Amino acid sequence: MPFLRIALLPFAWLYGAVLAVRHALYDSGILRSIRPSVPTIAIGNLALGGTGKTPMMELVLRVLEGERPLAALSRGYGRSSTDIREVRADDTAQQSGDEPVQVKVKFPAVRVFVGADRVAAVENIQREVPGVRVVVLDDALQHRRIAAGLNILLTTWHRPWYDDALVPAGRLRDLPSRARVPQVVVVTKCPALPDAKTQKDWRERLRLEEGQELFFSGIEYEKPTSATGGSQSPVLTGELSTTSCLLITGIADPAPLVAHAQELFIRTEHIAFPDHHTFTPGDLAKLEARFDTFAPAPKMLVTTEKDAARLRSMIAGSPLEGLPLATIGMRAVILNEPERFGTLIRDHVATHPAHR
């Protein structure tokens, strides 16, 4: 164990004690959790960022495509306010947060909302969306005031919670014992479908209860498309294997995308910003300058859908205007028993007392 992690363990233990007291207050009923009358599905994790919550939310929304009306709820990290609001496809990240805008753009029929108070936000959704069939909540495991009907907990293949520690010694923001709460656990970003023995080993290492479902998910990348909408520039429809890529990311774990871009393009240079980075005019000027010199044509700028949600409103009149800027979309896919995963999601909605 690295020296710094050992040195920080006392602070992690103190943080863990605070968490244990908080959870005990909720578990004993001293602090009250509220179960909404509408079906709710919460997607969360124990670690700080990078586990794939937004792709998993999008997967759940695809599974529930036949359910209308359908709503999604997020805190809206990075926005300038904490009020409850409905997200529009043309909202900026400052108004609604980058991930909710991304979800709204990809799922225009879904009513997407942001709100720091999840209980009040769900109540608002029930008023604003009469007859809503289900609300899918992003990053809600730590919000004990709301008791979702179905909880999906994520951990990554490369950094599972059993190999981690509480902050500041590690990246866990909640106690590993909370992993016993969700009905569904998904190991994300798997390189391939693990064999039966490996799946069993994972279940044992995660210390899951007998009734908890365990799934493994991977990533499927989409073809690069124009980040600004409209018709694609010639370079986006050209031969990618002879095109160079200047990859721009502001996400927690860009490694899988970097590896994919390196396979897709003849040359890839990666410029990494912090997760949810707020791009400045100075950032855009530096990107344009680097784009001019990093490789000969043909070449393109490439970013994520999440980053595009923050960049899109800044491009007009900026140094990036007119440059070929593409996004590479991604999808989470269940590798083992995808039909069962879909059935669990749909059955939770169909059998909910609100719909009987």
Listed in sequence order, the residues at least 6 apart from 290 whose beta carbon sits closer than 8 Å to its beta carbon are 246, 269, 271
Percent with pLDDT over 70 in the chain: 97
Distance CA 209, CA 228 (A): 46
Q: Which CATH architecture does the domain made up of 3-67+133-218+333-351 adopt?
A: 3-Layer(aba) Sandwich (3.40)
Structure tokens at 334: 């269940």
Decide if 330 contacts 299 (C-beta within 8 A): no
Q: pTM of the predicted model, to two decimals?
A: 0.90
- Name the residue among 147, 144, 139 with its Cα closest to residue 48: 139
Please identify every stretch of the chain with a pLDDT value under 50, giving residue numbers as ranges.
Answer: 230-235
Listed in sequence order, the residues at least 6 apart from 60 whose beta carbon sits closer than 8 Å to its beta carbon are 41, 43, 136, 152, 345
Matching fold, domains 3-67+133-218+333-351 and 225-328: yes
The neighbouring-strand residues paired with 248 are 271, 303
pLDDT, residue 46, reads 95
Domain boundaries, the chain: 3-67+133-218+333-351, 225-328
225-328 maps to CATH 3.40.50.1970: yes
pLDDT tens digits, one per residue of 220-272: 999 898 887 544 444 455 588 899 999 999 998 899 999 999 999 999 999 99
User: What single-letter DSSP state applies at residue 353?
Assistant: G
The neighbouring-strand residues paired with 21 are none
pLDDT, residue 231, reads 40
Structure tokens at 70: 């359908």
Distance CA 196, CA 335 (A): 12
pLDDT, residue 1, reads 56
Helix (H, G, I), strand (E, B) or coil at 280: coil
pLDDT, residue 234, reads 41
pLDDT, residue 312, reads 86
What single-letter amino acid sits at 9?
L
pLDDT, residue 354, reads 82
